[in-house]
């Protein structure tokens, strides 16, 4: 570690010197908070892009689905590639449907149940994919202020030790400790505020997408059941 | 995810870099040293004595310009001083100088008879110039003054005026100017509270008079214990005067005594209430160093004051 006390003149308040002057615990807190902030923003960016892409894919799929094309053809074109969201739901349901027809299963009720099960599983998998890592945002949002507060407490302790050591309550003695303490709190809030806001927004978006998927699953299951009744 | 992570990292690095570039430009804090404020601690006794002192300063200083104040001091220190002071005067004006000496001899007999013999030798030395100036200025300057005010400080003014006259053959305008100056240089206010004449000092060596606030505190303490008879018609007849002798620790040395009397049964009740109050409230918290001034206290209990607020 550097001999940080000689690095900056007293009274200097640049962020970097503030960090270098701080106690090792405060430094760890600061670094941890910065890492949390980086990861939080990475998740935010990733989720925003993912949700936007998912919504546009669903829009496109619904357009194709309701355009009156043959479901067999649609399945054939989609089955080759990896699908997400609504397309995955559709492919999973169609695969189960076809498999039942190939094996010559006779029970219509059983087929209906199996398709719905498959679609439920797919919805669960999709929603898990959409909501993954959102929990981290919630964790950061609730714990980052406390972590910052911990750094603050430590900084205040440092300044009290400085008071005890110099036997004076001069502002120059107290100020550095308090400054680094407040710096830790500021970083904690800086990490927590976007995390909380993003968590609320993103979990709401994910909920909407999942609701849309469920709606599609219900509709598709209704179509399949109508088909089954027409055949029998 | 990797893309998002790198975007986030780059963003944070950019913000940090901006912070490091932008923040060092902030001017360092400059602390301007505050000039220290001198604070004098004045005890409440000193404070009240100060106001009392300026008030009574008026009486002496009004008639006498600054010099006579110096002359007044010798009265405190009887024998040795008058000589040097009087001789010091010799330098500025030889003629007026003889005056103070006889004046003091005239004045001093009131205070103490001893100084009188000591100044005597001096007039002998300078006896010749005396007689002529002395009689002339006094009647001319202001005849009534010396007669009205018998005390020593009052006299020196004519002396100073006499000096003026010696130099400038009695100019009435100048006398008027001098007289006008006098109140300005005096600079006192008017009241006759406290010590008015220089004295030999109290035995204790400190200020012995109770300050106004201390008297108020004592009054408040007794008032708390006092339950005067209520619903009485002739309240003015119920003014009770109580004399109390106190020990140094504030307790009563002897039972409080009635200083006035009346055959009125209501007065008896009031007197008993007052005596009860005095008995109940001891010990009294008064400054022990001023014990000489509060050893005996006469206090009047007037129900009208209490009722009036």
Asked whether the beta carbons of residue B5 and residue A12 sit closer than 8 angstroms, the reply is no
Asked whether the beta carbons of residue B29 and residue A11 sit closer than 8 angstroms, the reply is yes
Contact A188, A149 (CB under 8 A): yes
Asked whether the beta carbons of residue A46 and residue B29 sit closer than 8 angstroms, the reply is no
Rounded CA gap, A86 and A84, in Å?
6
- Measured between beta carbons, the chain B residues lying within 8 angstroms of A43 are 4
Asked whether the beta carbons of residue A41 and residue B24 sit closer than 8 angstroms, the reply is no
User: Which pLDDT does position B99 carry in this prediction?
Assistant: 46
A48, closest residue in chain B (CA to CA): B4
Residue A121, domain member (yes or no): yes
What range defines the domain where residue A70 resides? Answer: 12-231
Rounded CA gap, B109 and B149, in Å?
15
And the tokens for A181? 């303490």
Q: B189-248, pLDDT tens digit by residue? A: 444 444 445 555 444 445 566 777 777 788 888 888 887 777 666 666 677 888 888 888
- Measured between beta carbons, the chain A residues lying within 8 angstroms of B23 are 13-15
And the tokens for A200? 């609320």
Rounded CA gap, B307 and A186, in Å?
64
B236 Cβ partners below 8 Å, 6+ apart? B304
Provide ipTM, 2 decimals: 0.72
Return per-residue pLDDT of chain A as tens, 232 residues: 334 443 334 455 566 777 777 788 888 998 999 999 999 999 999 999 999 999 999 998 888 888 888 888 888 888 777 777 888 888 888 888 888 877 766 667 788 888 889 999 999 999 999 988 999 999 999 999 999 999 899 888 888 888 888 887 777 777 777 877 888 899 999 999 999 999 999 999 999 999 999 999 999 889 888 888 887 6
Q: B4-56, pLDDT tens digit by residue? A: 899 999 999 998 888 777 766 556 666 677 788 888 777 666 666 665 555 55
Residue A130, domain member (yes or no): yes
Q: Which residue has the higher pLDDT, B44 or B185?
A: B44
Closest CA to B210 of B287, B281, B278, B282: B287
- Measured between beta carbons, the chain B residues lying within 8 angstroms of A34 are 12
pLDDT more than 90, % of chain B: 3
Residue A111, domain member (yes or no): yes
User: Which pLDDT does position B2 carry in this prediction?
Assistant: 85
pTM tops 0.80: no
- DSSP state, residue B27: P
Contact B128, B103 (CB under 8 A): no
Rounded CA gap, A41 and A134, in Å?
11
Residue A219, domain member (yes or no): yes
Matching residue, tokens 């007689």: B131
Buried b or exposed e, range B269-289, using 16+ CB within 10 angstroms? ebbebbbebbeebbebebbee
Contact A206, A131 (CB under 8 A): yes
Question: Pairing mode, if any, of strands B296-301 and B257-258?
Answer: unpaired
User: Which pLDDT does position B180 carry in this prediction?
Assistant: 56
User: Which pLDDT does position B154 carry in this prediction?
Assistant: 44
- Measured between beta carbons, the chain A residues lying within 8 angstroms of B5 are 38-39, 42, 46
Rounded CA gap, B76 and A55, in Å?
109
Task: Tell me the helix, strand and coil percentages in chain A, rounded to 5.
Answer: 85, 0, 15
A49, closest residue in chain B (CA to CA): B4
Is residue A151 exposed (0-12), middle (13-18) or buried (19+ Cβ within 10 Å)?
A: buried
Question: Pairing mode, if any, of strands B257-258 and B240-245?
Answer: antiparallel
Residue A53, domain member (yes or no): yes
Closest CA to B11 of A31, A145, A40: A40
Mean pLDDT of chain B: 62
> Residues for chain A: how many in total?
232
Residue A79, domain member (yes or no): yes
Asked whether the beta carbons of residue A42 and residue B1 sit closer than 8 angstroms, the reply is yes
Closest CA to A14 of B29, B27, B23, B22: B23
- DSSP state, residue B246: B
Residue B268 in this model has a pLDDT that exceeds 70: yes
Is residue A8 exposed (0-12), middle (13-18) or buried (19+ Cβ within 10 Å)?
A: middle
Closest CA to B110 of B66, B155, B68: B155
Render B156-196 in DSSP notation, one character per residue: HHHHHHHHHHHHTT--HHHHHHHHHHHHHHH-------S--
Residue A49, domain member (yes or no): yes
Asked whether the beta carbons of residue B4 and residue A46 sit closer than 8 angstroms, the reply is yes
Asked whether the beta carbons of residue A15 and residue B3 sit closer than 8 angstroms, the reply is no
Contact B267, B240 (CB under 8 A): yes
CA angle A3, A8, A13 (to 5 degrees): 130
pLDDT more than 70, % of chain B: 39
Residue A71, domain member (yes or no): yes
A50, closest residue in chain B (CA to CA): B1
- In this prediction, residue B100 has a pLDDT band, given cuts at 50, 70 and 90, of very low
User: Which pLDDT does position B181 carry in this prediction?
Assistant: 52
| Closest approach of B2 to chain A, Cα-based (Å) | 8
Domains contained in chain A, number: 1
Asked whether the beta carbons of residue B23 and residue A14 sit closer than 8 angstroms, the reply is yes
Contact B95, B129 (CB under 8 A): yes
And the tokens for A153? 């407490």
B27, closest residue in chain A (CA to CA): A12
Three-class DSSP category at B242: strand
Domains of chain B plus CATH, in order, are 44-186 (no CATH), 212-308 (3.30.1150.10)
Rounded CA gap, B47 and B51, in Å?
7
Contact B132, B188 (CB under 8 A): no
| Closest approach of B186 to chain A, Cα-based (Å) | 49
Residue A97: C-alpha distances to residues A100, B249, B307 (Å): 5, 111, 106
And the tokens for B104? 């003091």
Q: Which residue stretches of A85-170 are H helix?
A: 85-103, 108-131, 134-166
- DSSP state, residue B113: S
Judge if the upstream peptide bond of residue A200 is cis by omega within 30 degrees of 0: no
Q: Which residue has the higher pLDDT, B9 or B277?
A: B9
| Closest approach of A150 to chain B, Cα-based (Å) | 22
Residues of B with CB under 8 A from a CB of A: 1, 3-5, 7-9, 11-12, 16, 19-20, 23-24, 26, 28-29, 31
């Amino acid at each position: 570690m550097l001999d940080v006390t000689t690095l900056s003149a007293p009274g200097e308040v640049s962020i970097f010197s503030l960090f270098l002057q701080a106690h090792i615990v405060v430094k760890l807190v600061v670094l941890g908070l910065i890492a949390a902030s980086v990861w939080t923003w990475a998740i935010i960016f990733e989720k925003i892009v993912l949700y936007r892409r998912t919504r546009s894919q669903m829009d496109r799929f619904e357009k194709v689905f309701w355009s009156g094309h043959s479901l067999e053809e649609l399945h054939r074109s989609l089955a080759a590639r990896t699908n997400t969201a609504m397309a995955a739901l559709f492919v999973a349901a169609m695969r189960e449907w076809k498999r039942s027809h190939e094996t010559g299963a006779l029970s219509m009720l059983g087929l209906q149940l199996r398709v719905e099960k498959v679609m439920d599983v797919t919805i669960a998998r999709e929603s898990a994919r959409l909501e993954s890592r959102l929990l981290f945002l919630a964790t950061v949002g609730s714990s980052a202020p406390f972590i910052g507060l911990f750094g603050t407490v430590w900084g205040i302790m440092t300044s009290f030790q400085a008071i005890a050591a110099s036997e004076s309550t001069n502002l120059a003695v107290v100020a550095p400790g308090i400054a680094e303490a407040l710096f830790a709190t500021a970083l904690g809030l800086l990490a927590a505020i976007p995390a909380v806001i993003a968590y609320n927004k993103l979990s709401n978006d994910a909920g909407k997408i999942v609701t849309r998927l469920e709606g599609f699953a219900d509709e598709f299951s209704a179509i399949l059941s109508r088909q089954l009744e027409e055949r029998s | 995810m990797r893309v998002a992570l790198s975007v986030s990292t780059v963003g944070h690095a950019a913000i940090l870099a901006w912070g490091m570039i932008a923040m060092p430009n902030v001017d360092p804090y400059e602390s301007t040293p505050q000039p220290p404020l001198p604070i004098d601690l004045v005890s409440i006794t000193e404070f009240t004595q100060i106001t009392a002192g300026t008030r009574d300063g008026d009486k002496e200083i009004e008639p006498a310009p600054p010099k006579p104040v110096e002359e007044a001091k010798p009265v405190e220190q009887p024998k040795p001083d008058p000589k040097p002071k009087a001789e010091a005067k010799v330098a500025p004006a030889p003629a007026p100088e003889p005056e103070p000496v006889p004046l003091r001899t005239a004045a001093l007999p009131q205070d103490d008879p001893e100084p009188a013999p000591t100044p005597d030798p001096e007039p002998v030395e300078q006896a010749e110039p005396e007689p002529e100036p002395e009689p002339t200025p006094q009647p001319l300057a202001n005849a009534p003054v010396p007669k009205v005010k018998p005390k020593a400080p009052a006299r020196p003014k004519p002396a100073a005026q006499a000096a003026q006259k010696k130099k400038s053959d009695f100019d009435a305008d100048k006398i008027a100017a001098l007289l006008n100056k006098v109140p300005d240089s005096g600079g006192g206010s008017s009241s006759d509270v406290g010590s008015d004449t220089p004295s030999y000092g109290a035995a204790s060596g400190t200020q012995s008079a109770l300050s106004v606030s201390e008297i108020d505190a004592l009054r408040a303490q007794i008032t708390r214990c006092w339950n005067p008879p209520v619903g009485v018609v002739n309240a003015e007849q119920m003014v009770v005067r109580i004399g109390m002798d106190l020990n140094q620790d504030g307790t009563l040395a002897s039972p409080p005594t009635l200083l006035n009397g009346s055959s009125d049964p209501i007065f008896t009740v009031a007197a008993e209430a007052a005596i009860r109050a005095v008995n109940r409230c001891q010990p009294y918290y008064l400054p022990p160093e001023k014990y000489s001034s509060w050893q005996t206290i006469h206090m009047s209990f007037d129900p009208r004051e209490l009722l009036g607020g």
